[in-house]
């Protein structure tokens, strides 16, 4: 099924996810559909609420190699196979902190500096129903935290400083008006 990404203002974005009780063909198909929607919108991650669903599932595809802002090659988490599907994810450890620009498919063309842990350990269930744990750093850690925020009904705007919200007030209002529930 083809899904559109829900924009800021859609009620489902604020609703917490419902845990996935068991992995079946419907969940596997949902993961495929979510990946397709994420790729279509050029995203690095997507949570179920962003397509109007409530299951505790998110998908990510963060390249291990990318170019940094100064042109230097950055290699992070090369051992983590992509794409990554996390069912019922939860953070069990975190370390360090890093402030970086962050965007969101539900907030198109809005990027803000957000401080997040630099390293996280996430426990989750994979598409075979097996319990897994991964420790990741950098951009992938940020993406995991961002998608888990979505699963908890926490949005990018909730992580913004007051000054950032004031500076983006016009864009946020227009976005909210254009959202469909």
Known catalytic residues are 147
- Segment holding 125, helix H or strand E: strand 119-125
């Amino acid at each position: 099924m083809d899904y559109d990404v829900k924009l800021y203002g859609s009620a489902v974005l604020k609703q917490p996810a419902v845990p996935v009780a068991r992995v079946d063909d419907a969940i596997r198909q949902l993961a495929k559909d979510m990946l397709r929607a994420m790729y279509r919108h050029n995203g690095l991650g997507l949570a179920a609420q962003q397509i109007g669903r409530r299951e505790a599932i998110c998908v990510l595809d963060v390249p291990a190699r990318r170019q940094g802002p100064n042109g230097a090659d950055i290699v992070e988490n090369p051992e983590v196979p992509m794409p990554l599907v996390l069912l019922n994810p939860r953070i069990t450890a975190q370390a360090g902190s890093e402030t970086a620009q962050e965007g969101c498919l539900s907030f198109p063309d809005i990027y803000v500096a957000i401080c997040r842990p630099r390293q996280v350990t996430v426990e989750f269930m994979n598409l075979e129903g097996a319990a897994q744990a991964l420790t990741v750093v950098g951009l992938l850690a940020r993406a995991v935290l961002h998608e888990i925020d979505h699963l908890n009904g926490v949005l990018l705007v909730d992580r913004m400083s007051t000054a950032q919200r004031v500076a983006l007030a016009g864009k946020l209002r227009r976005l909210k008006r254009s959202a469909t529930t």
